[in-house]
Structure 1
Amino acid sequence: MSVAVGALLHNRYRIENIIARGGMGAIYRAVDESLGVAVAVKENLFGSQESTRQFRREATILASLRHPNLPRVTDHFVIEGQGQYLVMDFIEGEDLLTRIDRRDRITEEDIVLIGSAVCDALTYLHSRTPPVIHRDIKPGNIKITPAGQIYLVDFGLAKTIDPGQATTIGAQALTPGYAPPEQYGQGTEPRSDLYALGATLYAALTHTIPEDALARAMGSAQLTPILKLNPRVSTALTAVIEKAMSVQMDDRYPSADAFKQALLSANTAARQRILQTSETVMPASSNQAVVGSIIGAAAKPKQRSFPWLLAAFGGLLAVGLCLALVFFVLRGQLPSAALSTPSQPAPTAALAAAADTPSPT
């Protein structure tokens, strides 16, 4: 049963509105009355003892994650007889699905930037011990803030890889069109997230949900080529996305970072924006999430300032002028009247005295 708007959940989170609702639960916007900040509360209505144990284990791992393209999981709890709850940062802005539904024309450059940011988040998730698989990447779970920051949200279906253990009941849901064929029963691994991200980018470029992966695996459906739905897309980007959506896992990219590099190779403009942003906003020792804050706005060129160079140039110019003045005075090219004032001795005499040499005049 969904939590009512206005209710105080767990004696701390005041429910403001329902963001999304499904058969497994809902996502709420709430206010953390202890801290006075907006949060997102993810509800999972499966409450068996086994799923509850699995939820507590995985929620603890999710709460330890810190990455610029991921919201923080700040709390988790179970209400007996009701459900399981994850509390995360609330991300302002709109999701990619909203842009698709508006029929916005999303440029190839922005598609590559979005895909690269999500790949950064996946590289981080997949490198955890144990690896964390998101398992529900789709346009509705990619949010873009007003400042252009890209977030991969909604860890409601995330699970950790535990070799030898089957997927728990709380992690068996999927989204047709975006879920890879192995998610229907064989079990997921990091390359499963790459398929879902490829399908998400496919939908953003074509405004069409791709054919179901299980139907493709069984031979009853074929993937409609991106170029047939959107002839304006480059063949290079088309090849990268369709490779990520291969039915066989071994035919996809081996890692999220490999997928990212392929995306950047397909679009020079996006690669250049990332390089410019990494030079201007990221520390020299960091190489992650450099695209997270540049979507929707052109990257600013790197600005360099050289105050020491200007000062040195000014000093050399002054010395040069003084030397030229001395040269002309000593050669008698300038009249002494023009170089002196009534209250000061003639500069020629002063210069001669400073040099301890007789004045030619």
Structure 2
Amino acid sequence: MLETGVILDHTYEILEMIGRGGGGIVYKARHLRLNKLVAVKKVADNALGKLNVRGEADILKNLRHTYLPQVYDFLEVDGQIFTVMDYIPGHSLDYYLKRGTAFTVHQVVTWSRQLCEALSYLHRQRPPIIHRDIKPANVMITPEGNVCLIDFNISFGGAVENEVLAVSNGYSPPEQVLSFSQGYAAPAQEDAVVDEQSDIYSLGATIYHMATGVKPDKDWRKTPPVSAYRDRVPEALLRIIGKAMAPKPSDRYRNAEEMLADLKRMEGREGKLRYIRTMRCVSISVGLILTAVFLSVTVLGWKKMKEEQLEQMSKAAVQESSAALADTDADEETAFDEAEVKRVESLLDDARDYVSQGKFAEAEACCQELLQEKAAGQLSVYLEVADVYRAMNQYSAARQILYLALEKGFSDYRIAGTMAIAVCEEQEQLPVENRSYEEVQTWYNQAAAQFKASGEKDSQLMAVLEDIMTQLYDGGWLSRQP
């Protein structure tokens, strides 16, 4: 292991270790002459003697693709081999998945398409470059919100005990490394058959994890079938994942282009879907701070929140009607309130369904009708309508609804908390240099104070906000307040 401060080849100063795996150790380094950050990977010792360094360098240094890091150099120093490539800032997909992050359908499909494009490019090289170790830890999320597929460099031959080695097919002996990359390696590798379809399986397993939040089992036979997630993942995406992860290579996509074509068709048909309904509680935005800004009260799920909010709405409506209609027959009053609640429930369901279908004009019409209903005087309705607008990426409209609730005299931490998230989402739509999160801090402070005063012990919304603020602080966008 290299010490901090070591200078390789009189050019690269080692700053820190940023990753370790079967394929080697990765360091963050600085190119001294260019004052540029790079990633330096020390190839695993058991691969030494098996490399055509000049041939690998010529191939990899000529690769140019949006979703792959640029490889700059191969070094041989004191009998050790190092690869020098782009340093990709941010975190890996694995980082977010381990923290329970939930992704929108749009994110999953977009990133899957980008990975397929990178894979197709590698496989089209002559000879094909087989990644062999596609997994969330090797997928970086860039500051621009795109993916970068890393660790695709060397091919190996010969049996190496249970080590995960990134390989480039064709630039190593014919023997292949037999190993699993915990949950993501294709079963075909057990027979030392490593080709394009092995990469496709591993990509499918990575998408499976992204879409479902469930990590594939190391034993592929124990991984729950994709059909188990029909309640939270679109059918078209389930079919793509299922085909990519078929146990038999002959049942998988023949190549990355076929898989990419299906993803593009789905993107065109369902690209406006906003949410995968999941039990997980943290969501992520794809901007520079890569934080959980698509979360709100709806994180508990439309159905669960609906039950809670409609119960509160029903009780409040009954009390309000009792005061205003003191002389009205009790049975008629109750029937009216129940009908009102059902009417609101129906409109909310319609609005959400329209959003899921990409019919935003119809969803907005439902929202406007909701605000005209008698039950619109309840806070829960304002919060629900605001969330519908947020699901359509209409953050300004969502904030207007929340301001309307404030004008009606409501004072509740859920308003300020949802406002903080909406502001954060709104900022994510701006160019990086124009983003500002001070208003998020203001609304968070108000929400925190109101939550404390409410006497409530637990709040999913506040837990999400705490996570958002932590990432804003850690990302340097805001300073922690005393």
What's the TM-score bracket when you normalise by the shorter of the two chains? Answer: 0.5 to 0.7
Corresponding residue to 2:190 among 161, 184, 188 = 184
Structure 2 CA distance for partners of 1:60 and 1:46, relative to 1, 3 Å: farther
Give me the identity figure in percent.
34
Question: What residue is the counterpart of 1:255 in the other structure?
Answer: 255
Question: What residue is the counterpart of 2:57 in the other structure?
Answer: 59
Contact 1:69 1:118 (C-alpha < 8 Å) held by counterparts:
yes
Query: Where do residues 9-158 of structure 1 align in structure 2 (5 Å cutoff)?
Result: 9-46=8-45, 50-53=49-52, 55-81=53-79, 83-156=80-153, 157-158=166-167
Contact 2:135 2:184 (C-alpha < 8 Å) held by counterparts:
yes
Q: Which runs of 5 or more residues in structure 2 are unaligned?
A: 154-165, 274-287, 295-392, 394-427, 430-482
Partner SS, residue 45 of structure 2: coil
- Amino acid of the residue matched to residue 175 of structure 2? T
Shift of residue 63, structure 1, vs aligned partner:
1.3
Give the structure, 1 or 2, with the largest relative contact order (CA under 8 Å, sep 6 or more). Answer: 1
Of the structure 1 ranges 44-53 and 70-79, higher mean CA displacement relative to structure 2 is found in: 44-53
Shift of residue 47, structure 1, vs aligned partner:
5.5
Greater fraction helix: 2
Shift of residue 30, structure 1, vs aligned partner:
0.4
Partner SS, residue 198 of structure 1: helix
Contact 2:245 2:252 (C-alpha < 8 Å) held by counterparts:
yes
Structure 2 CA distance for partners of 1:123 and 1:29, relative to 1, 3 Å: same
Are residue 166 (structure 1) and residue 174 (structure 2) matched?
A: yes
Corresponding residue to 1:201 among 186, 196, 207 = 207
Question: What residue is the counterpart of 2:369 in the other structure?
Answer: none
Shift of residue 159, structure 1, vs aligned partner:
1.0
Question: What residue is the counterpart of 2:421 in the other structure?
Answer: none
Contact 1:130 1:160 (C-alpha < 8 Å) held by counterparts:
yes
Contact 1:115 1:263 (C-alpha < 8 Å) held by counterparts:
yes
Question: What residue is the counterpart of 1:233 in the other structure?
Answer: 233
Cα distance in 2 between the residues matched to 1:48 and 1:162: 12
- Amino acid of the residue matched to residue 208 of structure 1? V
Cα distance in 1 between the residues matched to 2:270 and 2:76: 43
- Amino acid of the residue matched to residue 43 of structure 1? K
Shift of residue 272, structure 1, vs aligned partner:
7.3
Partner SS, residue 123 of structure 1: helix
Structure 2 CA distance for partners of 1:162 and 1:23, relative to 1, 3 Å: closer
Cα distance in 2 between the residues matched to 1:269 and 1:26: 42
Shift of residue 176, structure 1, vs aligned partner:
2.5
Cα distance in 2 between the residues matched to 1:98 and 1:179: 19
Contact 2:116 2:259 (C-alpha < 8 Å) held by counterparts:
yes
Contact 1:47 1:84 (C-alpha < 8 Å) held by counterparts:
no
Shift of residue 174, structure 1, vs aligned partner:
4.1
Shift of residue 166, structure 1, vs aligned partner:
1.5
Partner SS, residue 228 of structure 1: helix
Residues 309-340 of structure 1 show CA distances to partners (whole Å, capped at 9, x for unaligned) of xxxxxxxxxxxxxxxxxxxxxxxxxxxxxxxx
Residues 1-54 of structure 1 show CA distances to partners (whole Å, capped at 9, x for unaligned) of x1111211222111111111235421011001121100001111326664133x
Contact 1:4 1:15 (C-alpha < 8 Å) held by counterparts:
yes
CA RMSD of aligned residues (A): 3.0
- Report runs of 4+ in structure 1 exceeding 6 Å deviation: 295-300
Question: What residue is the counterpart of 1:283 in the other structure?
Answer: none
Cα distance in 2 between the residues matched to 1:172 and 1:60: 27
Residues 210-238 of structure 1 show CA distances to partners (whole Å, capped at 9, x for unaligned) of 123xx44xxxx343023535731122211
Question: What residue is the counterpart of 2:181 in the other structure?
Answer: 175
Contact 1:112 1:270 (C-alpha < 8 Å) held by counterparts:
no
Are residue 5 (structure 1) and residue 4 (structure 2) matched?
A: yes
- Amino acid of the residue matched to residue 170 of structure 2? I
Structure 2 CA distance for partners of 1:48 and 1:247, relative to 1, 3 Å: closer
Partner SS, residue 223 of structure 2: coil
Cα distance in 1 between the residues matched to 2:99 and 2:261: 29
Partner SS, residue 101 of structure 2: coil
Partner SS, residue 52 of structure 1: coil
Q: How many residues align?
A: 269
Alignment TM-score, normalising by the size of structure 2 = 0.51
Shift of residue 190, structure 1, vs aligned partner:
1.0
Contact 1:237 1:267 (C-alpha < 8 Å) held by counterparts:
no
Structure showing greater radius of gyration is: 1
Structure 2 CA distance for partners of 1:162 and 1:62, relative to 1, 3 Å: closer
Query: Where do residues 321-332 of structure 1 align in structure 2 (5 Å cutoff)?
Result: none
Residues 245-296 of structure 1 show CA distances to partners (whole Å, capped at 9, x for unaligned) of 01111101111121112123334466579xxxxxxxxxxxxxxxxxxx9x99
- Amino acid of the residue matched to residue 262 of structure 1? D
Cα distance in 1 between the residues matched to 2:145 and 2:107: 11
